[in-house]
Structure 1
Amino acid sequence: MMTGSAAQPRRGRGRPPGSDGAQTRDVILRSARELFSEVGYDRATFTDIATRAGVSRTNINHYFRSKDELYRTLFEADKDSVITAGIADAGAAGDLADRMAAFLRITMRADSENRTYVRFLAASLFDALRNPELGDWAEGQIDNVRGFIRPALEAAVADGTIGPDVDIATATEVLIAVVWGMSMYAGFVGTDGRLEPMIDHLTALLRGALW
């Protein structure tokens, strides 16, 4: 017969004190996204992330074995929720200018929900320049955007919307630079009230320059 105080529920095996599963993991990811965006990959440490998240470093190590693994997890998740989702939704828009505008609006929508999403993805390109081991991640992100823009340019040339003498490769890179620049502006400078008119103006400029 059991005597004394009632038996306490047992903590899940291997889980550090203070951990509550998916919620703790989400807090860690959110705090890491903020810190990586502010100070970059090199300067962010597990200790700093733990402090911001209000957990112990042991909590972080329970979910992520290294800073590299944490960064990769965060990068892939944010790329899917912003870049991949934006490309999928914008692909249904009309001409190239409409597709660019739709993609940027979807990206800005993610930014308005949590400003650090776009800030982190934009800053990750700088991290890749400073850390060659991160280069393939950033290049993959650029390739995704390139694979969205170039076919739209090729279709515009094929149907005569754009003249046949356009340099598609160069035009693609110019528009990639525009997307990156707008992402940097959205993440670090702009506000919702400024971004929407800027996208409208960009659409008008694209139509005036290409059509």
Structure 2
Amino acid sequence: MKHVSPNDVAGETRVKAPTRRALAKQQTRAKVLTAARKLFSEEGYEGATIRDIAAAAGMSTGAVFANFTDKSDLFREIMTADMSSLAEGMRDAATKGRNLEDALLRAFMAGYGFYKSRLPLARAAFSVAWSPDEGQVLRNLPPVVAQQDLIVELLNAAVERGELSQESEVKLRAQMLFDAYLANYNQAIFQGWSLDALQARARDQIRILLAGARRG
């Protein structure tokens, strides 16, 4: 007969509560991330320094470096959290689409709407995204890849239900759609386009990029 220890409940091991030290570390990381998000928004990526972030968080630079390797590591964690929320929002929006075009448009608009409320941080993100080294790292973050994968899934589903032809070159078309989606952030972030203007542009882009792929 299997022995059930006092720490087991109904044969399942009880998850240990975090130690006081682990909780303190989590709280420190949360404070640093909050301060960093604020400073990246106010000063941009280049303008925000580890010293300033530490001061805003009410701790030493040593405490920051005990939790994050460097400024880019800190920025990546903020971007990963944002991009994960964004990827979920895009997927949820796409499920409400009446057809492929509508699903793509809803996904795109979920992205633009997400960053309309975070424009200062979005500017910092895009300044980093176009840098040679760190930009490639950001573009390869799992939640960013998940956004690209969503477009591939939507196109494949459209092929399966006969909305698109079998010769739709899904991967290439999905990449072109994702590139168009990203390109519109320039208008959203730096030129102040409204969501209505972005929607009209995105609708036209989607229609054009799907032309020729529709099943006769």
TM-score by length of 1: 0.68
What is aligned with 1:183? 185
Identity %: 17
1:138 equivalent in alignment to 2:139? yes
1:146 positional shift: 1.9
1:181 positional shift: 0.8
Alignment counterpart, residue 115 of structure 1, candidates 112, 116, 119: 119
1:47 equivalent in alignment to 2:55? no
Give the distance between the partners of 2:30 and 2:78, measured in 1 at CA: 15
| Structure with the larger helix share | 1
Counterpart residue identity of residue 138, structure 1: R
What is aligned with 2:36? 29
1:23 positional shift: 7.6
What do the CA deviations read for 1:89-145 (whole angstroms, capped 9, x no partner)? 323323222122212222222223221354344444324x334xx634422344212
Pick closer, same or farther for the CA change 1:101–1:122 going to 2, 3 Å: farther
Output aligned runs, 1:158-169, within 5 Å: 158-169=160-171
Q: Decide whether the 8 Å contact of 2:93 with 2:103 is kept in 1.
A: no
Counterpart residue identity of residue 206, structure 1: I
What do the CA deviations read for 1:141-176 (whole angstroms, capped 9, x no partner)? 442122100121122223332233322121111001
SS of 1:148's partner is helix
Q: Decide whether the 8 Å contact of 1:87 with 1:103 is kept in 2.
A: yes
SS of 1:108's partner is helix
Q: Decide whether the 8 Å contact of 1:46 with 1:60 is kept in 2.
A: yes
RMSD of Structure 2 on Structure 1 (CA): 3.4
Of structures 1 and 2, the one scoring higher in RCO (CA 8 A, sep 6+) is: 1
Alignment counterpart, residue 154 of structure 1, candidates 138, 153, 156: 156
What is aligned with 1:199? 199
What is aligned with 2:107? 103
Pick closer, same or farther for the CA change 1:57–1:184 going to 2, 3 Å: farther
